[in-house]
Amino acid sequence: MGIIELKNIVKTFPSEKVGEGVHAVRDVSLTIEEGDIFGIIGYSGAGKSTLVRCINLLEKPTSGEVIVEGKNITAYSEVELRAVRRRMGMIFQHFNLLNSANVFENIAAPLKNQGRISGKEIRERVEEMLRLTGLEDKARAYPSQLSGGQKQRVAIARALVGRPRILLCDEATSALDPNTTTQIIELLRSLQEKLKLTVVMITHQMEVVKSICNKVAVMEEGKVIEEGSLVEVFSEPKSSITKEFREKTLYRKEAIALAEKNKRNLYELTFIGEKANDPAIMDLVRNYPVEVSILFGNIEILSGVPFGTLTIDMKGEGKDILDAVAYLKSREIKVEELGGHKIEERKEERREEDKIWNG
């Protein structure tokens, strides 16, 4: 059983303009296991921010159940929910710090609010968080004196000072530049390990999901349309956002344009896991009378699994090319044809050739 379970969550906002209201989340069920770094990705307006707010019930689902650490919290009273929320940290795109309080006070706020924690303990725990987030020298600074990355560090320290088991991140890196994004991601990853956190990350940045998450759900129009481990989702992209991501990182558009221009047939090969280390292309060239030229190649590590793609151009007899493709497939390499000459046409040619041979 997961640490967070969402069962058939529906959230509809009443609207005066639209008769039936705005359907932000439509029947979403997800299970997030302890220790996961679970990415929820989608374009803006896909309902992911509403969905993450259903986890700590900042938004009450119209229907459905939220089960956290085995307890159904959907029907909890506001007072009971406060206790649940103290066990969940949350960070935001715009940091949401108190501008009128310094870094130390900002981080101490959740502890002070709990009462019954001594001043000495508060100081120790805030200092521990300052150390973990690399802000030791900024304790007395005010947010206006900090950079975006530093502000997000303060927000992370504030979210974790109460020692929650779950951290919710709502577009936590979307307001940061790429360098700072990488630093914050690294920080989140190390904190997740040290503090044994379960992290839920809402983002529209595929790079973020790719670099930190082990599981991902893709949302579109309030629904989860793809879900699984990072490798599963990227090897079989179904939604426009994952496909688009693949096209971007694999230069696929450029490859197709090239194929069409030169009336060539290009193949995109996908190697996953150990396959990425196989000398498949070398074996191919050795055993089949085809010429192979490599146009683009890329290898990514998705949650520790090598994920390679290669765009190649094959020259040779139609029959030989078909055999070569079959051979690659037999080695569990995904082969996809990009533009140019289609395999169907090749089959026609092959039949022609067979006739001649047999004739």
Which stretches of the chain bind other proteins, using CB under 8 A?
A: 56, 58, 81-86, 88, 90, 92, 94, 96-102, 109-110, 113, 142-144, 155, 158-159, 162, 168
The minimum distance between CB 100 and other proteins, in angstroms, equals 5
* Residue 192 backbone phi and psi in degrees, to 5: -60, -40
The minimum distance between CB 85 and other proteins, in angstroms, equals 4
> Count of alpha carbons within 13 Å of 135, Cβ hemisphere only?
33
Nearest residue (CB) to other proteins, 78 versus 344: 78
Nearest residue (CB) to other proteins, 171 versus 226: 171
DSSP characters for 263-290? T--EEEEEEEGGGGGS-HHHHHHHHSS-
Distance of CA 165 to the CA centre of its chain: 20
The minimum distance between CB 77 and other proteins, in angstroms, equals 12
The minimum distance between CB 58 and other proteins, in angstroms, equals 6
CA distances from 82 to 43, 85, 111, 116 (A): 30, 5, 13, 16
Nearest residue (CB) to other proteins, 109 versus 256: 109
DSSP characters for 44-86? TTSSHHHHHHHHTTSS--SEEEEEETTEE-TT--HHHHHHHHH
Nearest residue (CB) to other proteins, 53 versus 246: 53
The minimum distance between CB 238 and other proteins, in angstroms, equals 32
The minimum distance between CB 309 and other proteins, in angstroms, equals 39
Nearest residue (CB) to other proteins, 86 versus 341: 86
The minimum distance between CB 230 and other proteins, in angstroms, equals 27
Nearest residue (CB) to other proteins, 199 versus 258: 199
CB 238 within 8 A of CB 226: yes
β 88-92/166-170 pair status: parallel
Nearest residue (CB) to other proteins, 43 versus 76: 76
CB 348 within 8 A of CB 337: no
Whole-angstrom distance, CA of residue 186 vs CA of residue 163: 19
Whole-angstrom distance, CA of residue 230 vs CA of residue 39: 9
